[in-house]
Structure 1
């Protein structure tokens, strides 16, 4: 079940932080980041057997308010490989499209071949740029973009 998070309950925030740390280590979101994203951005979660097993966060692009930037997506390690992360992404795209968002942009580690393949082949993202040292020396990123009209036409 996919849900838009609209409350900042302590147990919920604790679980979301656990997922973020598991996926991204010190680069994951903490309470100080997640609460503003819940209140002012968009945070979607997916549940399996009532347990929160994944989340995704978006913020709007100030220079192009119809563009959402995907900050991060994470799935519990024990649930990976079952299509839940892809389903979370797809359903969140549909929800954002209903809010008149026209494109999604993200960055991804170019060495994360599995993620790049999912974004390109399953979801229809295109690589539009490579940024060297985006998050510090040696932390390169691919910038990828998805036009939601194209995604919706394929769904």
Structure 2
């Protein structure tokens, strides 16, 4: 069964927020992945210089089972930070079949599909979308690519 995690979007202050949350939850942040760390991909827009030091992904463990994850939102990927899209429910799936099943069920009549379920540089399957009720979801199956900050969940 998928694990449920909170994913928070920030307007350029993700690193500051997670440094604070690390103290609050008395846990160690294993690191920050920055937009400048993303491998070049001709199918994706280039990362603007002013966004390269912003946080692309980070995570801390809350209790060994729950993760608090986050990133700065940058406009080059078609998102803008607004209250309402700054929190996602993230489903960490145990296998690709579970990811596909959950994506197909949750995305029925989706208001917005930011990224359809597919392979990325960081996951075998990943999607982000707003469901028909306006709730923001991420479906993730890392598979063989699961080597980022959140490797223990």
TM range, normalised to the smaller chain?
A: 0.3 to 0.5
Higher relative contact order (CA 8 A, sep 6+): 2
TM-score by length of 2: 0.35
